[in-house]
Structure 1
Amino acid sequence: MKPWGAIATWRMAHDGVLAAKELIHQQASAELACETLIKKVEDYPFYKSVGYGGLPNELGVLEMDAAFMNGDTMAFGGVASIQDIKNPISVARLLSKEKFNSFRVGEGAREFALSQGLEEKTMLTNRAKRIWEKRVEEIEEHQLDPYDGHDTVGAVTLDLNGSMVAGTSSSGLFMKKKGRVGDSPFSGSGLYVDSEIGGASATGLGEDLMKGCLSYEIVRLMGEGLSPQDACDKAVYAFDQKLKERYGKAGAMSLVALNNQGEWGVATNVEFTFSVATSTTEPTIYIAYPGPNQTTDISEVTPEWLEAYQNRITAPID
């Protein structure tokens, strides 16, 4: 059987991974599989860091980022700070077809999306607005650090023709400054893919991830012959150590990778969940932690963990 695969960051991507698997089995392209995977996450209102239901900036405005890269052609499209467009990943995919102006921001990105017939939608939900209001109250009363949450959905897909695609989508750091953009929409940082080698995608604190261009570095290491797991471990833990030594600290960073043989790898400096399905791996949600000697400990999540997760993300907001 020809190798195929789909891997994506966080538990929230699992339904998308299942959808990508079905599309790939139906001979669909890696492009369609990746876009569909990420749209599943963008459309679910209880995921607070992506698309509809995502959390807003400090002014209560939801600004979203996304990127899309084709590993056959190296074509790339990105959007940043786009507002009230239903699926930012679809905007990024369309922009990847453009020879010029393939990265658009703010109102320019929104105007492009509307010109292409993409759906306009109020993306800030009442639930997300209430979470924002509560955080504003907490900051005023207790002088708390306003920042919280930066869980990008990042995905890599491999189809039965050997084509590979990577994509990302995020509403960014909760309570971020207006116009702030993290690593997610940038080639080399948030994502990178080359169908002759493989692809990688990142989630975490964008300000620190951008300092290392880790998605590119993982693909480069795979190109030198490292397995996806070894490439992830080498890139992530070496850079985590370098940041701590030279910058004084390192924010959360987690990366997933898939090579063109359907082999996968993950590394993280925090607790991190991800979903993967390949020609040799049944669709599974895993949890990962930093392991000993710059390695990664990976195990399947338990049913109890899944139940607690679902209860937590859907709990009423006072």
Structure 2
Amino acid sequence: MSSRRKFIKKAALGSVALSTFSAYDAQASNATTAPKEAPIKTAKKPLIISTWNHGLAANQATWEALNAGKSGLTAIEKGLNISEADPKVRSVGYGGLPDREGKVTLDACIMDQNSDCGSVSFLQGIKHPISVAKKVLEETPHVMLSGQGALNFALSQGFKEENLLTPESEKAWKNWLEKSKYQPVINIENHDTISMLVIDKDGNLTGGCTTSGAAWKMHGRVGDSPIIGSGLFLDNEVGAAAATGLGEA
């Protein structure tokens, strides 16, 4: 399973190796004149970082899981579950703003230090897409499941189907329908998500993203968040990065 998921890593390492070789050659040719560089400082461990203020509660849950001896993968899942279950966070999970048909559709991905990853997109009726993405990583030979297939898989794994549209989000959708103008602005009110990166006590990296996507999007739209190499990527020997915002920007 792991070997099938490492094609992105191999390509990325090839690019890194090329750029490192070129930089080394340049440094060697100017060894007598180049100033000495300060040593690179390593991050304190463990370390958790996530996006936006609603990430603070998620960080706390992740921290508690790490302190309890959980893996980085499980800790990130537990942390992001907090945002997914909070109806006040209207860009993630339960209570997320719906598409233009009034349906809440969810995307998520997760990746560990071994470059194993799992992802779901266009998932409906499941409150915790990050947990389904983790199951994709652990239980399937695939990286991503989408739509009805993702839902069927979630149900087979014991997840409960439920209505994710809260009265508040439904009201916002009905207000939008009065004009039905789709002019997304890059801000935190109408489309942003949560991404989280973790360095555990052993220095291993894990990352995750979960989102309900852009409000009032066309039904079926999938953004950048669940796509490995776009919404999230990590290399345990190099670092990790996650992106939030408007996927089409």
TM-score normalised to structure 1 length:
0.61
| Structural mapping, 1:15-94, within 5 Å | 15-71=57-113, 73-94=114-135
1:29/1:163 contact within 8 Å kept: no
Structure 2 counterpart of 1:12: 54
1:58/1:176 contact within 8 Å kept: yes
Question: What do residues 219-273 of structure 1 show as CA deviations (whole Å, max 9, x unaligned)?
Answer: xxxxxxxxxxxxxxxxxxxxxxxxxxxxxxxxxxxxxxxxxxxxxxxxxxxxxxx
Shift of 1:27: 2.3
Structure 2 counterpart of 1:112: 153
Secondary structure, aligned partner of 2:149: helix
Runs of 4+ in structure 1 over 4 Å off: none
Q: Residue 224 of structure 2 is aligned with which of 162, 183, 189?
A: 183
| Structural mapping, 1:258-269, within 5 Å | none
Q: Which amino acid aligns with 2:196?
A: A
Secondary structure, aligned partner of 1:97: helix
CA distance in 1, matches of 2:46, 2:238: 13
Structure with greater contact order relative to length (CA < 8 Å, sep ≥ 6) = 2
Q: Which amino acid aligns with 1:115?
A: S
Q: Residue 147 of structure 1 is aligned with which of 184, 189, 196?
A: 184
Shift of 1:84: 0.4
1:27/1:160 contact within 8 Å kept: no
| Structural mapping, 1:131-210, within 5 Å | 131-139=172-180, 144-147=181-184, 149-208=190-249
Shift of 1:93: 0.6
CA distance in 1, matches of 2:125, 2:184: 22
Shift of 1:99: 5.1
Shift of 1:29: 1.2
Secondary structure, aligned partner of 2:179: helix
Question: What do residues 79-100 of structure 1 show as CA deviations (whole Å, max 9, x unaligned)?
Answer: 1110001200000011112452
User: RMSD across aligned C-alpha pairs, in angstroms?
Assistant: 1.6
Q: Which amino acid aligns with 1:154?
A: S
1:7/1:156 contact within 8 Å kept: yes
Structure 1 counterpart of 2:23: none
CA distance in 1, matches of 2:213, 2:184: 10
In the alignment, structure 1 segments of 5+ residues that lack a partner are 209-318
CA distance in 2, matches of 1:99, 1:54: 27
Question: What do residues 168-210 of structure 1 show as CA deviations (whole Å, max 9, x unaligned)?
Answer: 01111111011111100001110111222221111011113xx
Secondary structure, aligned partner of 1:11: coil
Secondary structure, aligned partner of 1:203: coil
Q: Which amino acid aligns with 1:35?
A: E
CA distance in 1, matches of 2:143, 2:50: 24
Q: Which amino acid aligns with 1:66?
A: A
2:182/2:216 contact within 8 Å kept: no
Greater radius of gyration (CA): 2
CA distance in 2, matches of 1:199, 1:102: 18
Shift of 1:120: 1.8
Say how many residue pairs are matched: 203
Secondary structure, aligned partner of 2:55: helix
CA distance in 1, matches of 2:83, 2:121: 18
Structure (1 or 2) with the greater strand fraction: 1
CA distance in 1, matches of 2:79, 2:239: 18
Structure 2 counterpart of 1:125: 166
In the alignment, structure 2 segments of 5+ residues that lack a partner are 1-42
